[in-house]
Amino acid sequence: MAVGLEEAAWALTDAEYSERLRAWADGLGIRPESTIVDPSAKSFRVRPHRDGITSTLADNEVVDGIRATASLCATGRLLVSAQCPELIREIPGYAWDPDASEKGEDKPIKVADHGVDALRYGVRTTRNIWSSLLTEPITKSS
C-alpha cells in the first residue's frame, strides 16, 4: 500500500486534485490498481474515472479502522515514510472525543485528521488483500 500523496490540497477542484494524483503516480513510475476515495467525496470519483484512474469507495468504519491501524503500527507491520511529515504530525493528535465518550460513542476528535483518516481508510479497505500476508510482529529485539 502506498501512503505518500501528501499536501494541503483540501481547497482544490476535483480536476486539480485528479491531476496532482496522476502527477504523483507518474513521478513514482506507478499506476495504482485503484485509488481509495472517501465515500463523502462522491463528486471526486467521477473525475479520476474520466482520467483513467479507478477508484474504490473507502470502508470508513471508525472503530475497527482505528483498531486495525493502531495494531499494525504498534507491531511494526505498518510503517509511515518520513516523506509524510504531515501524517506523522497528525498521528499523535488522533484521539477519542471525550464529549462523545461521555455519551457512549466512539468518535475521534475531528481536527487536523485528513491524513490519519486516509491511512485508516487504506488499512480498512484493503484488509482482505494484506491480512493473509502478515507475518509475526516485528519486535524491538528483532
pLDDT digits (tens, 9 = 90+) for 104-140: 988 888 888 888 999 999 999 999 999 888 876 655 5
> Can you list the alpha helix ranges (DSSP code H) found in 6-126?
14-28, 42-50, 62-74, 85-90, 98-102, 114-125
Q: In DSSP terms, which residues pair with 37 in a beta bridge?
A: 57
Q: For 10-27, how does the pLDDT look when each residue is reduced to its tens digit (9 = 90+)?
A: 678 889 988 888 898 899
Cβ 38 vs Cβ 117: under 8 Å: yes
Per-residue pLDDT tens digits for 48-105: 888 888 889 999 899 999 999 999 999 889 999 898 899 999 998 888 888 988 999 8
**Are the beta carbons of 80 and 90 closer than 8 angstroms?**
no
